[in-house]
Amino acid sequence: MPSLSLEETGKGKQILEIGLGGGNYDMRLHRIKPYANITVVEIDPIVVKMAYKWFGVVDSEFHHTVVQDGIEFLEQAYNQGRKFDMVVIDACGSYSSPLLCPADPFQDAIILGKIKEMLTKTGTLIVDLLSSDHTENGNYAWKKGNIVATCTTMSMSDIPDLAIHIDNRLATIMSTLRLNHILDVAYTTILHAK
């Protein structure tokens, strides 16, 4: 069972997003998955006011905006034993840092470990990576951000034509979430280990 199936309304799913910005990601997700419980945490109350006034962010029974430091929220959620089907880190830091997103506190191995523990068995962590340039600092972002929190192993015989199946699922995801308008390239790599 995936963390958030494309075929269902999201009922009962718990989604946490750290960093509101204009609210585009969470409000689009809310429209696609109207019954998923989405909590968005934003540290800056002015950003929240602007998102409500100018970008169409609306709180409802299943969409909640919390004004709080994201790290504090994560610590509280961790101590309460909360679980999430999806955690999105879209909080950026200083423009003087080579890696703008995620902000430094969200790159901390201890914080990432706690987030991993808060994910459900099939949970997903999505991290917005943004570098200040695409050369030397882009390499920094790759080294710093290339962390695999979990892997799933399966037999190649479990699914006939596994590569085709995965490519078809990726195409469906890209189309359903309209990511093909945003991303130039999306590809899968299958590694075979004995």
* pLDDT tens, position by position, 27-37: 988 988 899 99
Residues 29 and 106 in one domain: yes
List, for residues 80-124, the tens digit of each pLDDT value.
Answer: 999 999 999 999 887 777 777 888 898 888 998 899 999 998 888
Residues 48 and 128 in one domain: yes
Of the three residues 134, 151, 168, the one that is the final residue of a domain is 151
Are 116 and 84 contacting, i.e. CB atoms less than 8 angstroms apart?
Answer: no
Q: Quick check: 191 pLDDT over 70?
A: no
Strand ranges inside the chain, DSSP E: 14-18, 37-42, 63-67, 84-89, 99-101, 119-127, 130-131
Full residue range of the structural domain in which residue 56 is found: 14-151
In a domain, 7, yes or no: no
Residues 164 and 144 in one domain: no
Strands 130-131 and 99-101 come out as antiparallel
Residue 92 CA from chain centroid, whole number: 13
Note the pLDDT of residue 108: 86
Percent of residues in the chain assigned helix, strand, coil, to nearest 5: 40, 20, 45
Rounded CA-CA distance 114/111 in Å is 5
Residues 147 and 157 in one domain: no
Structural domain count, the chain: 2
Of 119, 187, 128, which is closest to residue 149 (Cα–Cα)? Answer: 119
Residues 172 and 100 in one domain: no
Residues 33 and 120 in one domain: yes
Q: Quick check: 41 pLDDT over 60?
A: yes
Rounded CA-CA distance 10/157 in Å is 30
Residue with tokens 């299943």: 62
Note the pLDDT of residue 159: 55
In a domain, 28, yes or no: yes
In a domain, 8, yes or no: no
